[in-house]
Structure 1
Amino acid sequence: MLFCTIMTVKIPPDMPADQLKAIREAETTLAQEYQRAGKLRHLWRVAGRTANVSLWECVDADDFHATVSALPLFPYLEIDVIPLARHPSALA
C-alpha cells in the first residue's frame, strides 16, 4: 500500500543544540535504512521550508503507522497522510 506524506518539522525553540543534532543524525540513519529496505520510496525537500514530501510503501496502515512513528523526529512532526490507490488510466 502506498502513502504520500507531507511532513513539517516543528522543533521546540528551546531544544538544546546537541540534542537536536543527535535526533537529526538518528533520523538520517533510519530514513536511509527505510530507503534501502524499499519502505521509503521517494523523499523530496519542500523548498524554503523545514518540510518534506515522501512516498512510502507499507503492507497496510498499521505497518505505515509503526514505520513512521519509529522516526526519531516523530514527536516533532506535523504529518499529512494521503493513502494512494492505482489509477485506472496509469501505465503499468
Structure 2
Amino acid sequence: MLYLVHMQVQIPADADKALTDRLKAEEKAFSQKLQHDGKWRHLWRVAGQYANYSVFDVESNDELHTLLSSLPLFPYMVVNVTPLAQHPSAIAPN
C-alpha cells in the first residue's frame, strides 16, 4: 500500500542541542535503512521548512504507524498521512 506522508518537525528552540543532534543522526540512519529496504520510496524536502513529503510502500496502516512512531524525531513531528490508490489515467503502474 502506498501512502503520501507530510512530516513537519517542530523542535523547541530551548531543546538540548546534544540530544537533538543525536536524534537527527539516528533519524538519518533509520530513514536511509527504510529507503534501502524499499519501504520509504521517496523523500522530498519542503523548501524553506523543516518538513518533507514522503511516499511509503508498506503492507498496512499498522505497519506505517509502527514505522512513523519509531522515528527518533517523531515526538517533535506533526504528521499527516494520505493513502494513495492507482489512478485510472496513469500510464505506469505504481
Shorter chain as denominator, the TM-score bin is over 0.9
The whole-number CA distance in structure 2 between the counterparts of 1:17 and 1:68 is 23
Which AA in structure 2 matches 1:87? H
Residue 67 (structure 1) aligns with: 67
Residue 80 of structure 1 and its aligned partner are, at CA, apart by 1.0
TM-score by length of 2: 0.95
Equivalent residue for 1:17?
17
Cα deviation digits, residues 16-63 of structure 1 (max 9, x gap): 110010000000000000000000000010000010010000101001
Name 2:91's counterpart in structure 1: 91
Partner of 1:26: 26
Q: What stretches of structure 1 of length at least 5 have no aligned partner?
A: none
Aligned to 1:35: 35
Counterpart of 2:81 in structure 1 is 81
Unaligned runs of 5+ in 2: none
In structure 1, distance between residues paired with 2:61 and 2:81: 10
% identical aligned pairs: 45
Give the AA of the match of 1:88: P
